[in-house]
Structure 1
Amino acid sequence: MQPDPEDRYTEAEPANSRSALPLIIGGILLVIGVAVWFIFSGEESEPAPPPPAPEKPAVEVQEPEPELPPAPDIPEPEPTLPEEPNKPVAPVPEPEPALTLEDSDDVVRDMLAPTNPSDIVSSALLNENLLERSAALVDGFSRGAVLTKVLPLPEPAGDFAIIEQNGVAVIDPASYSRYDKYADAVASIDPDLLANSFHRFRPLLEQAYAGLGYDPEDFDNALIRSLDRVLDTPTIDAPLPVVKYEAIYQYADPELEQRPDLQKQLLRMGPENLETIKSQAAALRRALLSPPPAM
């Protein structure tokens, strides 16, 4: 039995804790950590009520969707070639102390902060234990889960709303604009820099992943699987019908309702923001699976 990654973090949730929506792609991962997190941390668990409508039956539980195909390995950097035998050898400087998880936060901030002036990224980087949080987020996303306690971020402005169209309750398209700045923050991130950051911090990320009870060598597969979860989210241009079940709203389409929580949250961003997130996820996936530079 694997430990629950959220058990390692003890921050109290806000009094009006939201079910998710400031994260995926983002960082190393703050991006995968910080991007999807942009999307989810801070969403109301119950949106604003719609106009009175007839009570709808609960959505029928469907068979779970097929699992994603196995994620490929992210290639390791090639070792640096040895110097030619007769070539003069430059003096070797004193090696810097090896970076550890305990002292990695400042290095992560220095590497990622200049790339994205967004207040969302800046807020994420104020947290401590960034690599451990990133590993926990990647673990959750790889399973389609949204771990709402792991990376606190600012909540979206305004309220998530339901309206009625032709007698059907749907997500108010005006609510999508609440997530524009989160999608813009993800769009401003350089996927190649993130891939290079992954290789820089890979040993520590694998160590943090092992701390959750997993094989450290599986971390790269979990990261690719997280991106595949994002890319597998359908882009739907039409209004999304919902039905109220007890105190929450569910998608009226059983195929959508049976999808992982991560994808159901991404759908709430609206089709344009979702396409922005998916485009960055695809670019980061390509960068990670490209041969890295020699180290």
Structure 2
Amino acid sequence: MDVSDQDRITPATPQSRWRRPALLALAILLLATGYYIYQQSFPDAVEPPASTESPISVDLPPIVPAQPKAADIPQQTVQQQEQEPSLPSLADSDDFLRLHWQDLGLPDDTQAWSQGDFLLQRATTFIDGLAQGAVLRKFTPLDNSPFLQPKPPFKVIKNNGEIWLDETNFDRYKPAITFLVSMQPEHLAQLFHWLRPLLEAAYGELGQPPEQFGNQLITGLGQILATPDIDAPIKLKRESVLYQFADPAFESLPDVQKLLLRIGPQNRQQLKDWSESLKNALLAEQALD
């Protein structure tokens, strides 16, 4: 799509200042949140005894979710200020990232994430899927993240033969959301160009135009921002062993937006506010000086 000049950043040169690989941190944090939420997608639930009291139900208008508007992350040339280490080839990037993992500024518990293979390729593929509204679980390196795992079981409420999402589930998602929004959007935006050549190379391996990777990142954030704001009891139905939204308008949403409906209004608003700040910071030319 066409975008205005102010929505572009010129490409970073190889002489840009030494910066920590914060975009990988961003990608992995998005992976963490997506994986964390995905694996909690209406599993077998603990069902309390049926209640005769009906929850307060609100008639919701039909939902026509906003379509995320793609915008190229502008590229900007950064003046050389100090010597930086040369980036490796994409093939050697795993070892390079493991060597510099402490520079990511992530909690110590994430060290296990660096032991996977194809770290940048996985991050790039996940973000590409996110831009399309998908949550690609198999591209996450986060199986060994106990500090993000929810403790209580997933719960539903049964009233008069109807199934409702138990709002006590929302607390299960707070650790992951808190972990993600603790990263400063402005800081991530300022450090964006450091790994961009490798990420674009990984995106090119998907058969996509490498220069469009920044656009996909913005579009992925747009998917989050386009999630409907629902602050009312959510009715479910059971299909096979999993639960689905009873409202077809909810069930037809992109996967990432359905996941964000399940985490509750407060968590969702935190994530949307953070995503908006990050999007603005990425698109702000002055943030990349």
Structure 1 length-normalised TM:
0.73
Q: Which has the larger helix fraction?
A: 2
Deviation of the 1:192 alpha carbon? 1.9
1:237 pairs with one of 213, 231, 235: 231
* Alignment root-mean-square deviation, CA: 3.0
> Is 1:293 paired with 2:282?
no
> Is 1:206 paired with 2:196?
no
In structure 2, C-alpha distance between the alignment counterparts of 1:36 and 1:260, rounded to whole Å:
13
Amino acid at match of 2:288: P
> Residue 213 of structure 2 corresponds to which residue in structure 1?
219
> Residue 80 of structure 1 corresponds to which residue in structure 2?
79
1:52-67 pair list within 5 angstroms: none
Would you say the 8 A contact 1:195–1:288 is kept in 2? yes
Aligned length: 246
Unaligned runs of 5+ residues in structure 2 are 1-22, 52-62
Amino acid at match of 2:77: E
> Residue 45 of structure 2 corresponds to which residue in structure 1?
48
In structure 1, C-alpha distance between the alignment counterparts of 2:249 and 2:108, rounded to whole Å:
35
> Residue 257 of structure 1 corresponds to which residue in structure 2?
251
1:148-159 pair list within 5 angstroms: 148-153=137-142, 154=145, 155-159=149-153
Would you say the 8 A contact 1:28–1:134 is kept in 2? no
Amino acid at match of 2:130: F
Amino acid at match of 2:162: V
In structure 1, C-alpha distance between the alignment counterparts of 2:37 and 2:69, rounded to whole Å:
25
Amino acid at match of 1:272: Q
- Tell me which stretches of 4 or more aligned residues in structure 1 moved more than 6 Å: 64-67
1:121-132 pair list within 5 angstroms: 121-132=110-121
Structure 2 length-normalised TM:
0.74
> Residue 19 of structure 2 corresponds to which residue in structure 1?
none
> Residue 160 of structure 1 corresponds to which residue in structure 2?
154
Q: 1:242 to 1:217 in 2, by over 3 A?
A: same
> Residue 266 of structure 1 corresponds to which residue in structure 2?
260
Amino acid at match of 1:205: L
In structure 2, C-alpha distance between the alignment counterparts of 1:173 and 1:213, rounded to whole Å:
42
Would you say the 8 A contact 1:35–1:186 is kept in 2? yes
Q: Deviations over 1:194-244 (max 9, x none)?
A: 223321111111111111121111111111110000011122222211112
Unaligned runs of 5+ residues in structure 1 are 1-24, 54-63, 82-91
2:131 pairs with one of 120, 137, 142: 142
Amino acid at match of 2:201: Q
Would you say the 8 A contact 1:29–1:198 is kept in 2? no
Amino acid at match of 1:31: L
